[in-house]
Chains A and B, each alone.
Chain A
Amino acid sequence: MSTEYWRSLEPSLPTPDHGPDEVDGSTRREILRRMAASLSLAGLVGCTKQPTETIVPYVRPPEEAVPGTVLYFATAVTSAGPAQGVLVESHEGRPTKVEGNPDHPASLGATDVISQASVLSLYDPDRLQSIRGPQGNATWADFEIVLNRLMDAHTADGGGRVRILSRTVYSPTLGAQMHTLLTRLPNARWIQYDSAGPHSERAGSQLAFGQYLNSYYNLDAAQVIVALDSDFLACGPASTRYAHDFAARRRVRGSQTGMNRLYSVEASMTSTGGKADNRWPLRPSQIESFAEELAAALGVSGAAPGAPSGIDARALASIVADIRQSREHSVVIPGESASPRVHALAHAINTVIAAPVVYTAPIEAHPQDQIGALRTLTDEMNGGHVGLLFIVGGNPVYDAAADLDFAAAMQKVAQRIYMTEHNNETAVYSTWLVPESHSLETWSDTRAFDGTVSIVQPLIAPLYESRSAHELLAAMMGESLTAYQIVRAYWTSQKPSDDFEQWWRKSVHDGLVAGSALPAVTAPAIRTIPARATSQTSGLQIQFRPDPYILDGRFANNGWLQELPRPMTKLTWDNAALLSPRTATQLGLRNHQVAEIEHRGRKVEAAVWVAPGQADDTVVLNLGFGRTRAGRTGTGAGFDAGKLRFSDTMWHASGITLRNTGREYPLATTQMHHSMEGRDIVISEPVGTYISNSDFVHERTKEPGPRLTLYKPWDYTGYAWGMAIDQTACVNCNACVIACQAENNIPVVGKDQVLAQRYMHWLRVDTYFKGSSDNPSAHYQPLPCMQCENAPCELVCPTQATNHSRDGLNDMVYNRCVGTRYCSNNCPYKVRRFNFLLYSDWQTPTLKMQRNPDVTVRSRGVMEKCTYCVQRIREAEIRARRENRSIRDGEVVTACAQVCPTQSIIFGNINDRQSKVAQTKGEKLNYSLLAELNTRPRTTYLAELRNPNPEIPA
């Protein structure tokens, strides 16, 4: 059978031979011989006595703590910048899992990948664990003495030789502390730097309005969206909210057929671009041209088309007509990697069409031109004008623009005090290292994309001798205060009222300060946007992008994020030089070949990956890789794009050359794994097809009759759990995969094992393409276990380790499994995962603290799979039975459904006709994967609908 959908430009890999390769240097035959000996003794295993265990009760039990029962605490994840409000699950004081905070505007109950993975960063065994001074390990008291002496020495000249470099500060308290410090040391300077920005956004706001303004979009009011190199659905501080609002306007149910429309122009296909109804691959320079053309056509004063973008004039006219028709329900969204001019043009267009954009005062405590400020700082350091440098977080030696040579400049400073979570690249050049507390370990506060304030509360006492930035700043001012005292004191000064205690308790409890979103302001008139600087537009161009998961490299040592397949390429553990198929052919480069990229005399080698839908003559390289001191997980993964970044070309550059080195480098991508052998899996049609014939899905699929089975049908008297997945809503953010990993104790296997097709994710998001490889459409399909009624896996298990439960799950009993892997061989959906080796870390104490105690940690030789988070189902069932009632719809959700920002995964009891899942499954778009096999899956899909502009040829 053939299909018009394809997954990769490479042929699918054959299903791997399910036998062990050489393990520990033993051949298959030797292993069999040893197995024979152990089999004969297998019966004796039953005689093993359990070792004696102990029970350690509390001395004075804390309030509300019940052993074995979870508590949730509201806080905010701040590690990626602005806040995402979360509820953190705590098991006897151990944070184990992050969930979204339904009340928080950036979450609405869902989270992104980074919030999910933040709990693993907390338990990272490679974190810096103690204070280090020039003489080795030191104590905080030692450090305070030195710090006081240094600060005293620098007070006389008002801190003229003191510089503080931090990440972008969104914390009102930390911002206030900085200002207090700068009042005391008026000649000191505070520089902020985040290599992943938002630089263009700030500069764009300056260009358009002459001031820094924060802007965000009300996508629940947007009918037409134009994304200019923007991955707004999957990256950025508001992406979870945007994805939610975006999907809400394209939910086709019954006779409701209204859908918003997304246009996208971008250099390399992102999750957002893949979701677009009409998309054009454009080079970075062409994107700016497109913005000019669009602005001119929409009547932005002073805008004139420059060099042609390459988009057909009729297509442009259709977009313009579409925008004009929807007017104040249209919006243009520029991405960070687009130039500041594109941002300014987008502001101008949005003003002309009265787009649903909200402008507020900046959410940053102190916005500044970060690249300029960093350049000034390195100049000062090189000139010997800095005597005391504080680096509070960040990793400038790794991620400062390459031409600034931060490491060399830093060494010209006498005292370099660095607060950091890791002993990383910058730590090498520092005189003092102070461990920084993780955001789950300390009190703080922060703002979300709309300015909403969250009080960050700790879930656990610091694991190591770490301090927060608040405490370091207090120490710099000679005060010995805890983060709690500092944050509370700040808010006492902000909210001086009699019922402060009540206000504080409510704010901490709710995870946000009620009504603290910044008020909307009227944006000033758009200034004249300067003409484009003449820049080279021919030849090869390069674009840098923050990695969607490890961002600028700050999460490089997080195994969950390293091993999570990138949305479009499905690459794990590496970045790659992405090239379009045509450009790769022209340059004579193939996948896995190592190319040398040269830009202004600097060279970086990177493996090549040919990406469908990429703009020609454009190399795209993700940031965050090629770390030399990330830790045992992240060191050495991928290629350091930062070495090619200059302070004037932070996001893209022209005139690069690419040379084939002739060497090969294995890239571990999961795109070719678990192929369903060319069968029709995805169904995607324009919404027009549905409107003219709502039965098109059922006409296409072959659902066998209900009685077509040799086995006795199952009888479900109670609950029957089921899932429906709306492919129209899925934006390929992959939060579900990490949520599943965190909830179900799924191990990280490493690059070698991914190459051997042995990654362990129970849930994967398959990406399919349709059309030519130059500009295909992309289709996303989250794929958990189907929980088949006629499950092929159950019939072949020789030990009955996989069984049908009374409510229709395909239970997996790890302690019965002997690892024949017959079940996996017989599974047509390829959702079973086998522990070929001991993948779970049974040794590292901190990693054990992360585990969910309600799920068994699997050992070597055991098959595992998705069970719809059965631990949650049973927990809810017991609670309901105790209260003599039925489980309410929505009371129990799987980890993947809970985290999904677009609610594309719907879970519930299909025996309840009123449940959301039962009603969704009743939609005419509902279909089963591989229905013709008569497996009768419990997980079904809604066919994807798109809303391409009918006037634009595909």
Chain B
Amino acid sequence: MRGVILTVVLLIAGTFWAITGVSGSGYVTMQGVPREQPVPFSHEHHVGGLGIDCRYCHTTVEFAANANIPATKICMNCHSEMWAASPTLAPVRESWRTGQSIVWTRVHDLPGFVYFNHSIHVQKGIGCASCHGRVDTMPLMWQNAPLTMSWCLDCHRHPEEHVRPRDQVFNMSWKPDGSQQELGKRLVKEYGIESLTSCSTCHR
């Protein structure tokens, strides 16, 4: 009898352990999975190679909730001149000609009940790379962080571990000179960062 109970308990515990493991894994969160796109846009080339600033394309990141996906117009600013006949860019030219949008696959996809705002994070000194990783090394985009609630809360509870000077937010390769803790504590005070963990901060 005791053996049966032990087996059942172990089975239940094992199931929960497995569920927790799987639900936090990249299989479910899509963390670390490069996603195919209609145009194989390379951040590695544009950011790492050419040194284009994030805001050249993601124009609204400093004042809106969404860091917008660039309009075809922005691609064509350069590609009407450069690589203007490249077969890889055919969908971009097609979009420009027909007025039909390019349909991109969404890489960072929060659930519908989460209301994330880019502008406030940028304003408070959270670097792009803190969440999106070293985008300048990604030939195809993938999701760098798990984007789970516990991951969000880790930073909301201890912002000093991640905050950086405002002028370094868009710098992919920024590293603190000294101790992050020391710098972080100073910046948290300087930027008036509050540790916001009320539910309605993100859920409405």
Contact = CB atoms under 8 A, between A and B. Distances in A.
B112 A57 contact: no
Contacts of A881: 120, 123-124, 192
A805 B194 contact: no
A57 to B, nearest CB: 4
Contacts of A55: 69, 103-106
Majority SS of interface residues in chain A? Answer: loop
Nearest to A883: B123
A49 B28 contact: yes
A58 B101 contact: yes
Interface stretch (A66-74, A399-407, A833-841): A66-74
Contacts of B23: 46-47
A882 B194 CA distance: 13
B22 A54 contact: no
Q: Chain B: interface residue count, which band?
A: 35 or more
Interface string A31-68: 00000000000011011111011111111110000111
A53 B28 contact: no
Contacts of A53: 105-106, 109
A60 B198 contact: no
B72 interface: yes
Contacts of A867: 200, 204
A718 B192 CA distance: 12
A811 B198 contact: yes
B60 A67 contact: yes
Interface stretch (B3-11, B41-49, B92-100, B176-184): B92-100
Given A53-B106, A54-B104, A69-B64, A60 B200 contact: no
A68 B63 contact: no
B199 A805 contact: yes
Majority SS of interface residues in chain B? Answer: loop
Interface string B6-39: 0000000001100110110001101000000000
Interface residues of A, number: 44
A806 interface: yes
Given A56-B101, A67-B64, A811 B203 contact: yes
B19 A44 contact: yes
A46 B102 CA distance: 32
Contact of B119 (A47, A814, A882): A882
A56 B91 CA distance: 13
A882 B204 contact: no
A805 B198 contact: yes
B52 interface: no
A59 B72 contact: yes
A26 interface: no
Given A50-B109, A813-B199, A57 B69 contact: yes
A884 interface: yes
Interface in B120-172: 120, 123-124
B9 to A, nearest CB: 15
Contacts of B109: 50, 52-53
A816 B123 CA distance: 30
B19 A46 contact: yes
B90 interface: no
A76 B166 CA distance: 44
Nearest to A869: B204
A463 interface: no
A243 B199 CA distance: 38
Q: Which residue, A57, A718, A813, has most C-beta atoms of chain B within 10 A?
A: A57
Given A60-B73, A803-B198, A881-B120, A47 B19 contact: yes
B204 A856 contact: yes
A871 interface: yes
Contacts of B196: 806
A54 B204 contact: no
B71 A56 contact: no
Contacts of B111: 50, 815
A811 B200 contact: yes
A854 interface: yes
A348 interface: no
Contact of B68 (A66, A811, A856): A66
A488 B119 CA distance: 40
B201 interface: yes
A604 interface: no
A49 B63 CA distance: 31
B101 A57 contact: yes
Interface in A560-589: none
B70 interface: yes
A49 B27 CA distance: 8
A868 to B, nearest CB: 10
Contacts of B85: none
A69 B65 CA distance: 8
Contact of A854 (B20, B69, B115, B120): B115
B66 interface: yes
B123 A882 contact: yes
A816 B202 CA distance: 13
B83 interface: no
Contact of A59 (B95, B123, B192, B200): B95
Contacts of B199: 803, 805, 811, 813, 816
A67 B115 contact: no
A815 B200 contact: no
Contacts of B103: 54-56
B22 A47 contact: yes
A856 B203 contact: yes
A871 B19 contact: no
Contacts of A855: 204
A815 B28 contact: no
A61 B58 CA distance: 13
B75 to A, nearest CB: 10
Nearest to A870: B200
Contact of B72 (A49, A57, A67): A57
B194 A813 contact: no
A807 B198 contact: yes
Given A47-B19, A814-B113, A870-B204, A57 B65 contact: no
B123 A57 contact: no
Contacts of A806: 196, 198
Contact of B19 (A43, A57, A66, A809): A43
A785 to B, nearest CB: 13
Nearest to B16: A43
B15 to A, nearest CB: 7
Contacts of A803: 198-199
B200 A874 contact: yes
Contacts of A814: 113, 203
A57 B75 CA distance: 12
Contact of B104 (A49, A57, A805, A870): A57
Given A67-B66, A854-B204, A60 B72 contact: yes
A59 B71 contact: yes
A878 interface: yes
A811 B196 CA distance: 14
Contacts of B30: 49-50
Contacts of B112: 856
Contacts of B65: 68-69
A837 to B, nearest CB: 20
A54 B113 contact: no
B108 to A, nearest CB: 10
A67 B68 contact: yes
B7 to A, nearest CB: 17
A61 B99 CA distance: 11
Nearest to B22: A47
9 contacts: A50-B30, A53-B106, A55-B106, A57-B70, A60-B99, A811-B198, A878-B119, A882-B63, A882-B123
Interface of B: 15-16, 19-20, 22-23, 27-28, 30, 60, 63-66, 68-73, 95-96, 99-106, 109, 111-113, 115, 117, 119-120, 123-124, 192, 194, 196, 198-201, 203-204
The list of the 10 closest CB pairs from A to B, nearest first, reads A805-B198, A46-B23, A68-B66, A58-B71, A811-B199, A53-B106, A811-B200, A57-B69, A59-B72, A56-B101
Given A805-B199, A856-B112, 4 more contacts: A53-B109, A68-B60, A805-B201, A881-B124
